[in-house]
A = this chain, B = another copy of it.
Amino acid sequence: MAKAVTLSDVAAAAKVDLSTASRVLRGEGRVSPQTRQRILAAAEELDFRPNAQAQFLANGVSKTVGVLTMNAPATFAMPVLTGVTTTLGQLDVATLLYDARTDSGVLKESVRKLHARRIDGLLVLGDGILRAPLHSISQGFDVPVAYAYATSDDPADAWFMPDGVMAGRMAAEHLLNVGRRHIAHVTSNSDIGARDRATGLMQVLRAAEVPLALGKPLKGDWTRRWGAAAATQILRQKAPVDAIFCGNDQIALGAYGVLRAAGVRIPDDVALVGVDNWEGMVGNGDNLLTTIDPNLFELGRSAARFLTAATEGPYEAGAHYQGCSLILGETTMGPGDRTASDPEGLI
């Protein structure tokens, strides 16, 4: 540190007490125009930047938010985390992240450290594997707590989740729009997200009086392998299928490979829709898959905004759902249709 300039330096230069300097620099207090000018000029002249650490101590804030992740490097946690950090930065608040992946001892220790640091708020970030609500830890803190990509077992908490039902609805509406009437559903069985997507799908199909092809969803896991197996199974059945809504992109990719190998034309014979838009993040806009983007970056952004707002006033508890977006790809539009219908807005 090249001896940073302090408030005292400014006050001295302006020949006033530092309390006066403090006031005008924060734009408050009755001060004569002349002294105000002198102080402002001195500050400008000396390139004064108030020491934030000192301000925090005096004000009893830290301008840092704690983030407790269940598994930070988890693929789908990354975009959420990036959204959180970016948004917080825009508000000049820092992020202190502790990853509780290792064990619960670490969790307890992290909570202590977070307290010691006098964080202004806490964000608990789930790992995207949505089986059950997290056990609420909000009582341990006297600052606002939000849950992202996870739910809490305490209804007084606030949590942010992708809108799985909307994802299902969007997929269904799109497939109906491109003329499909024999829509099958291949998904995973172990996940709340899967359930919501199926719910959304069924809502739309029911409203359109279009029955689900094959009578019921085929359930497996989230892998390409399962997508391939399911597609094989579908090929063996006689029932007509002209579209498959896949619970995620991996399943869709697995199905794609098998269908193509069997000579099925995509999307002409069978259209495919996935969920996640993971490949699409690479962002060249020439997606193979039509998919539903859960907008995880935005999810993180919303949670971060909520948290800082909650610092000021009361907040709305319960679930907040992040809307999703339809990303067009060749598996429902074909390269030609797609460019025709949406020449560029593909990202």
Chain multiplicity (copies): 2
Given contacts A73-B79, A81-B85, A254-B286, 10 further A-B contacts (CB under 8 A): A52-B117, A52-B118, A53-B53, A72-B85, A72-B86, A78-B78, A92-B96, A94-B117, A250-B282, A276-B282
Q: Contact mask A42-68 → B, CB, 8 Å, 1/0?
A: 000000011111101100101010010
Which of A32-40, A108-116, A147-155, A208-216 participates in binding chain B?
A: A108-116
Query: Do B98 and A53 have beta carbons less than 8 Å apart?
Result: no
Q: Which residues in B have their C-beta under 8 angstroms from that of A90?
A: 98-99
Query: Do B223 and A52 have beta carbons less than 8 Å apart?
Result: no
Query: Which residues of A are interface residues toward B (Cβ below 8 A)?
Result: 1-2, 4, 49-54, 56-57, 60, 62, 64, 67, 69, 72-73, 75, 77-79, 81-83, 85-86, 88-90, 92-99, 112-113, 115-118, 142, 221-225, 249-250, 253-254, 257, 260-261, 276, 278-279, 281-284, 286-288, 297
Q: Which residues in B have their C-beta under 8 angstroms from that of A99?
A: 86, 89-90
Nearest chain B CB to A325 CB, angstrom units: 15
Complex A-B, nearest 5 residue pairs according to Cβ-Cβ distance, in ascending order: A89-B97, A49-B116, A94-B96, A94-B94, A223-B284
A276 nearest CB neighbor, chain B only: B282
